[in-house]
Structure 1
Amino acid sequence: MIDIKRFHHVAYRCKDAKETVDWYKEMLNMELTVAIAENEVPSTKEPDPYMHIFLDAGMGNVLAFFEIPNSPDMGRDENTPKWVQHIALEVENIDALVNAKNELVSKGVEVLGPVNHGVFKSIYFFDPNGHRLELAANSGSIEQMAELKRVAPLMVEEWSTTKVAPTHAAWLHEQD
């Protein structure tokens, strides 16, 4: 039986490794912990120089990026809305979320939110690579989280046959 402990790292592409390291340090106080550079991809043996950077996202979580200068410029899947693919990071509480928004805005970052998702609130913004970031603060009770877990399989089953949003958890966005 496979026993997953946590994410080892999640990796995305970046336009410029140094700019990315500097931005994440300045905006989100994330430290660079590891940099790996090779002229050949270890897994495929392809000759493709890269810089792979690893940033400390707290509590053992790692956010990583690859700069691959010999590939065509970065793009995104134009068939997927910008709000879909994002990196969500957790902050301690709602006060920390509001403080983070104020700090980001003071540094010139355009921030959306806080948005109330019923059991957490979030703010949204973009990094210099065009990746959408979310900072989230949990606010749900143990009972609310248990109810969401209970109805999740029912919702997925209903969605799989109807492709219409099930209403089992509609209460999440009926609040403030």
Structure 2
Amino acid sequence: MGLPTGVHHLALATRDMKAQLAFFTQVVGMELEALYWMHGVENTVHAFLRLGDTCSLSFVQAPDMATIEPVMGVSHPGFSAGSVAPGAMQHLALSVPTEADLLTMRDRLRSHGYWVAGPINHNMCKSMYVQAPEGLVLEFATAEGAIDVEQWIDPAVVAHCGITPAELAGFVRPPPFTSQGGKVPQPAPTTRPNFVFTGEWAPRGAAFFQLTDEQIAAALDTPAPPVPRRPSS
């Protein structure tokens, strides 16, 4: 109870919203479902592309993103096994139902002039890789059945990562948690690593940390969509 059940959306930065939307709709075949000014952020555009029934792929475009240059090996890996800074996304993998769908996707990508590697059989899945706009390393994968934990947690790698047997048991089967109905008090903002506000956001960030849950909701709730619903004919 209270556990995540899937990914709601993945948000990626872009300096060219139109190019990303063109790639993911015309080349990949996803549907645009939302494009609007990002809530609470001036001059920033937010887009959502439908990714299955419960998940979306999202892009965010802010004015200053046009002047921030990607750095290979820091912000971007360059290829599917390349290194990036800790906490950065190394690559994005999208699921397709079957191997036949994987080959169909390869045909779509190649028909638009994109070089594609794969499919490659990883046993737990079959994957192929392509470089999307703005250096995004994109994988498409298909899998049959669930992963066998006994076969896919390598004791040598567990030891390499410094994970004890007790820790491993907790990673495989996390301890249960009993909800308190949202009554756990807010800890101090410095208790754990937290949001970092820089530049013009710094004073606003300092004030943000002092707000109550109710004040945050009152300031940022946006229950109405940007375009009124058309009356039915």
The TM tier, using the shorter chain, reads 0.7 to 0.9
Select the residue among 89, 96, 99 that pairs with 2:104. Answer: 99
Q: Distance in 1 between matches of 2:151 and 2:131?
A: 33
Q: Distance in 2 between matches of 1:77 and 1:38?
A: 28
Q: Structure 1 residues 2, 77: closer, same or farther in 2, change over 3 A?
A: farther
- Structure 1, 148-157 or 90-99: larger mean CA deviation: 148-157
Secondary structure at 1:70 match in 2: helix
Q: Structure 1 residues 30, 103: closer, same or farther in 2, change over 3 A?
A: same
Select the residue among 30, 46, 50 that pairs with 1:52. Answer: 46
Q: Structure 1 residues 151, 111: closer, same or farther in 2, change over 3 A?
A: closer
Q: Contact 2:35–2:46 at 8 Å: present in 1 too? A: yes
Indicate whether 1:81 and 2:82 are aligned.
Answer: no
Q: Contact 1:40–1:49 at 8 Å: present in 2 too? A: no
Q: Contact 1:15–1:74 at 8 Å: present in 2 too? A: no
Q: Which structure shows the bigger proportion of residues in strand conformation?
A: 1
Structure with the bigger RCO (C-alpha within 8 Å, sep 6+) is 1
Q: Distance in 2 between matches of 1:64 and 1:73?
A: 19
Aligned to 1:167: none
Tell me the percent identity: 27
Long gaps (5+) in structure 2: 82-89, 164-233
1:154: Cα distance to partner? 3.9
- Output the amino acid matched with 2:158: E
Q: Structure 1 residues 9, 123: closer, same or farther in 2, change over 3 A?
A: same
1:38: Cα distance to partner? 4.5
Normalised to the residue count of structure 2, the TM-score between the two structures is 0.58
* Cα RMSD, aligned residues only: 2.5
Count residues in correspondence. Answer: 152
Secondary structure at 1:29 match in 2: coil
Q: Distance in 2 between matches of 1:39 and 1:138?
A: 37
